[in-house]
Amino acid sequence: MVSGIFDLNTWSRRDFLAATGSALAAASLAGCGGTDPIGPGSGTAGRIEGRVVDLQGVPQGGFGQVILMYPYGRHVGPRAVPDASGRFEFGSVPEGEWQIRFQSGGLAIVPEPYQHPVKFVVAKGKTTDVPIRIQRGNFSQNLVEIYAGDDFFQLQPDGAENAETVVRLGTVVCWYNVGLKVHTVTGGPWNDSGDLQKSQSFIWVANQVGSFGFRCVYNQPHMQSTLRVVL
- CATH code assigned at 221: 2.60.40.420
Number of domains in the chain: 2
Contacts of 22 (CB under 8 A, 6+ apart): 16, 139, 140, 142, 143, 172
For the chain, list residues with pLDDT below 70: 1-43
Same domain, 58 and 75: yes
The per-residue pLDDT for 21 is 45
Print the domain residue range for 113.
Answer: 42-136
One-letter amino acid for residue 194 of the chain: G
pLDDT of residue 38: 59
Q: 37 lies in a domain? A: no
> Are 14 and 89 within one domain?
no
In a domain, 88, yes or no: yes
Could you count the other beta carbons within 10 Å of the beta carbon of residue 221? 7
> Looking at the domain assignment, is residue 30 inside a domain?
no
Q: Which of 136, 165, 192 is the last residue before a domain boundary?
A: 136
What is the distance between the alpha carbons of residues 151 and 132, in angstroms, rounded to a whole number?
28
The β-bridge relationship of strands 165-168 and 224-230 is parallel
Does residue 204 lie within any of the structural domains? Answer: yes
Shared domain for 220 and 166, answered yes or no, is: yes
Supply the pTM of this predicted model.
Answer: 0.81
Task: Report the CATH number at residue 53.
Answer: 2.60.40.10
CA dihedral 65, 68, 69, 70 (to 10 degrees): 180
Q: What is the pLDDT of residue 119?
A: 95
Handedness of CA 123, 113, 223, 172 (dihedral sign): positive
| Half-sphere exposure (Cβ direction) of 207: Cα atoms closer than 13 Å | 10
In a domain, 49, yes or no: yes
- Residue 143 CB neighbours (<10 A): 23
pLDDT for the residue numbered 178: 96
Separation between Cα atoms, residue 205 and residue 4, nearest integer Å: 6
Distance (Å, whole) CA 89 – CA 99 = 13
**Structural domain ending residue among the three candidates 115, 136, 157:** 136
